Structure 1
């Protein structure tokens, strides 16, 4: 099982806070560090000191880590024009030595758009589809050739399609970073994953719904003439593990959740319970697990999972 740490810095974290967690992620042997891409805190928190931009943060982490994979889960298609995003991601990929992955979604949090003057169209799935067309088209265009796109949302004319990512994760070995498409939609999301993704991610699903979600993506791949096994199948779930019940209760309280609810919906409980949950996820076809860490000051939490859970599930 590939284990990655997934954070939500918009809830209140500086770059230095994020850096400490990313470097602990690497030191402790996890496989990747991912962050959300949001500009406004959710819930009752004040979000102080304010949001950090996801791709600016990842650029810094690219130079201050050496091994772990880095990326977003997920960037919103509403935030950046695809040509600009293609340049940003390719540059961070180069800065990291080829360790970047792009999670991209349609966006959903209307309040953050209103707060920072970002347009939030009512219908966004077409926007997301075109972004994926442009991103993969720019990256896969051979050096020396030009790229053009004339769509409902974006027009690119005579683009040199530079720079290229270091990685060649595109279809048929073309230049490109791994693309993560996620969501729980029954039809359009699986089709989009089959067309563009190297990974399908189910974010915070009901545990019992995971096999059906994966089955829909496999079916969409078959309909598109793509081998389903080309995709990695992953889930993101909240993490709350304690060495004993008192430690679990303390960690649950720190993030404003109840132990029983965390046990039902996340990788949570005692070490033994966490190991059992990961084993059950593997039986459902999960190949990669994003562990959502909400208390960025609790590095002992990562130490516990790395030393007691990870050795039993890999």
Structure 2
């Protein structure tokens, strides 16, 4: 049975605190399910930004997109996330991954060892375990069973971990990947997860909505190919039709997009959220 559609905004920058809290309120007003904060040294510290967003909203869930496991001590991180669950009234979601391409340099700047690929995957597993243990042992968390866990990945190691542990899997594929190219990681996850696959929510992040390219792509770079799954074009009903087909064929039901495109995707959110 297909899962209901959810939509999330990915944002991590604002000119001032008032603009940041306005972003959170706007996301809630537009019907988005989540506000997701990236984990980089060039964006707002995710746990602080999420706490601020939670204090000015009532239904919007807050999450990470995604925590880089090598950046932090897992028990301390789990303790802080448990506190954020309390402060948000149980609206916390936790996304975690092994680190973006630039994560090694940032880990070094934070004074943390980056480790091998295998060590980083083991850290992701450790973070998940520590979070679940912290929530189970806390008397203040709202989500006593623990927050929903998103694992981002597309390679065999991360998909294998996600098949065992994740509530949501974000397909961390290159932006130019076509719909056909999504079938590989989805099929691999299905095989690894077995009977658990039907319980896993599948997610992908959109690079572009409509004809306007994202402003952060420098001029001169090759535009995404017309068949890139991360680019959604057409009228709201046409875009909704594309997402409905992808849900039917691939199981993708949780769609995230950069905050720059929040208004462009809002009519689709209105058509599909909760369906």
CA-to-aligned-CA distance 1:36-89 (integer Å, 9 cap, x gap): 11113xxxxxxxxxx321001111111111111110011011122111111111
Change (3 A) 1:106 1:52: same
Which residue matches 2:62? 70
Q: Between Structure 1 and Structure 2, how many residues are aligned?
A: 257
**Selected match of 1:221 from 193, 218, 229:** 193
Change (3 A) 1:185 1:204: closer
Q: CA deviation at 1:184?
A: 0.5
Change (3 A) 1:262 1:254: farther
Counterparts of 2:244 and 2:189 in 1: how far apart (Å)?
A: 22
Give the number of the structure whose alpha-carbon radius of gyration is greater: 1
Change (3 A) 1:93 1:235: same
Does 1:274 pair with 2:239? yes
Which residue matches 2:124? 128
Counterparts of 1:120 and 1:98 in 2: how far apart (Å)?
A: 31
TM-score, with normalisation over the residues of structure 1? 0.73
CA-to-aligned-CA distance 1:166-212 (integer Å, 9 cap, x gap): 114xxxxxx211111120012x2222113221111113452322233
Q: CA deviation at 1:221?
A: 2.0
Does 1:261 pair with 2:224? yes
Counterparts of 1:212 and 1:164 in 2: how far apart (Å)?
A: 41
Change (3 A) 1:197 1:119: same
Counterparts of 1:197 and 1:113 in 2: how far apart (Å)?
A: 24
Contact 2:9-2:34 at 8 Å conserved across structures: yes
Which residue matches 1:310? 269
Counterparts of 1:274 and 1:14 in 2: how far apart (Å)?
A: 33
Does 1:210 pair with 2:182? yes
Q: Secondary structure of 2:251's match?
A: coil
Contact 1:180-1:201 at 8 Å conserved across structures: yes
Does 1:166 pair with 2:180? no
* Runs of 4+ displaced beyond 6 Å: none
Contact 2:12-2:44 at 8 Å conserved across structures: no
Q: Which runs of 5+ in 2 are unaligned?
A: none
Which residue matches 1:287? 253
Does 1:182 pair with 2:178? no
Matched ranges for 1:245-260 at <5 A: 248=211, 251-252=212-213, 254-256=215-217, 260=223
TM-score, with normalisation over the residues of structure 2? 0.82
Change (3 A) 1:277 1:111: farther
Counterparts of 1:278 and 1:270 in 2: how far apart (Å)?
A: 12
Counterparts of 1:80 and 1:183 in 2: how far apart (Å)?
A: 19
Alpha carbon RMSD of aligned pairs, Å? 2.5
Contact 2:202-2:254 at 8 Å conserved across structures: yes
Q: Secondary structure of 1:67's match?
A: coil
Larger RCO: Structure 1 or Structure 2 (Cα < 8 Å, ≥ 6 residues apart)?
2
